[in-house]
Chain A
Amino acid sequence: MKSNPDFSKSPTIDQVGVEERVARLNTRSIKKESKVAGLKLALNMIDLTTLEGKDTEGKVRQMCYKAMHLHDALPDLPTVAAVCVYPTFVATAKAALGNSGVKVASVATAFPAGQSTLDVKIRDTQFAVDCGADEVDMVISRGEFLRGNYSFVFDEIAAVKKACGPARLKVILETGELSTLDNVRRASDIAMYAGADFIKTSTGKIQPAATAPVTLTMLEAIRDYYYETGIMVGMKPAGGISSAKAALQNLVMVRETLGAAWLDNHWFRFGASSLANDILLQLLKEATGRYQSSDYISKD
Chain B
Amino acid sequence: MSRIGILKTYKIYIGGQFPRTESGRYYPLENKQGEVIANICLSSRKDFRNAVVAARGAFAGWSGRSAYNRSQILYRIAEMLEGRSAQFIEELILTGSTRAAAEKELHQAIDRLVYYAGWCDKYTQIFSSVNPVQSSHFNFSVPEPTGVVAVSAPQDSSLLGLVSVIAPILAGGNVCIVLAAEKKPLAAITFAEVLATSDLPGGVINILTGKTKEILPQMASHMDVNAVVWAGNSAEEIKQTQETGAVNVKRIFNWTKNDWTSAQAQNPYLIFDLQEIKTTWHPIENIGTSGAKY
Chain A residues at the B interface, C-beta cutoff of 8 Å: 14-17, 19, 22-23, 180-181, 208, 211-214
Interface contact B290-A19, CB-CB below 8 Å: yes
The CA-CA distance from A19 to B289 in the complex, in Å, is 10
Residue of A nearest to B285 (CB): A15
Interface contact A16-B292, CB-CB below 8 Å: no
Give chain B residues whose Cβ lies under 8 Å from the Cβ of A23.
290
The CA-CA distance from A211 to B291 in the complex, in Å, is 12
The CA-CA distance from A251 to B210 in the complex, in Å, is 74
Give chain A residues whose Cβ lies under 8 Å from the Cβ of B288.
15-16, 19
Residue of B nearest to A14 (CB): B283
B136: interface (CB < 8 Å): yes
Main secondary structure of the interface of A (DSSP, over half): helix
B283 partner, pick from A16, A180, A181, A208, beta carbons under 8 A: A16
State how many angstroms separate the Cβ of A78 from the closest Cβ of chain B.
Answer: 31
Give chain B residues whose Cβ lies under 8 Å from the Cβ of A180.
294
Q: List 18 A-B contacts (CB under 8 A).
A: A14-B283, A15-B283, A15-B286, A15-B288, A16-B135, A16-B136, A16-B137, A16-B283, A16-B284, A16-B285, A19-B136, A19-B288, A19-B290, A180-B294, A181-B294, A211-B292, A211-B294, A214-B294
The CA-CA distance from A15 to B285 in the complex, in Å, is 6
Residue of B nearest to A213 (CB): B294
The CA-CA distance from A48 to B285 in the complex, in Å, is 34
The CA-CA distance from A23 to B290 in the complex, in Å, is 9
Give chain A residues whose Cβ lies under 8 Å from the Cβ of B284.
16
Residue of B nearest to A214 (CB): B294
Nearest 8 CB-CB pairings of A with B? A16-B283, A15-B285, A16-B136, A19-B288, A213-B294, A19-B292, A14-B283, A15-B294
The CA-CA distance from A181 to B285 in the complex, in Å, is 10
Chain B residues at the A interface, C-beta cutoff of 8 Å: 135-137, 283-286, 288, 290, 292-294
Give chain B residues whose Cβ lies under 8 Å from the Cβ of A16.
135-137, 283-285, 288
Give chain A residues whose Cβ lies under 8 Å from the Cβ of B286.
15
Give chain A residues whose Cβ lies under 8 Å from the Cβ of B293.
208
Give chain A residues whose Cβ lies under 8 Å from the Cβ of B136.
16, 19
Which residue, of A15, A16, A181, A212, has the highest number of chain B Cβ atoms within 10 A?
A16
Interface contact B292-A213, CB-CB below 8 Å: yes
**Given A16-B136, A17-B283, 6 extra CB contacts under 8 A:** A14-B283, A22-B292, A208-B293, A208-B294, A211-B294, A212-B292
The CA-CA distance from A23 to B135 in the complex, in Å, is 12
Which residue, of B135, B136, B290, B293, has the highest number of chain A Cβ atoms within 10 A?
B290
Which residue, of B135, B283, B284, B286, has the highest number of chain A Cβ atoms within 10 A?
B283
State how many angstroms separate the Cβ of A19 from the closest Cβ of chain B.
Answer: 5
The CA-CA distance from A292 to B292 in the complex, in Å, is 30
Which residue, of B285, B292, B294, has the highest number of chain A Cβ atoms within 10 A?
B294
State how many angstroms separate the Cβ of A271 from the closest Cβ of chain B.
Answer: 19
State how many angstroms separate the Cβ of A255 from the closest Cβ of chain B.
Answer: 21
The CA-CA distance from A22 to B294 in the complex, in Å, is 13
State how many angstroms separate the Cβ of A30 from the closest Cβ of chain B.
Answer: 20
The CA-CA distance from A23 to B136 in the complex, in Å, is 13
State how many angstroms separate the Cβ of A14 from the closest Cβ of chain B.
Answer: 6
Give chain A residues whose Cβ lies under 8 Å from the Cβ of B292.
19, 22, 211-213
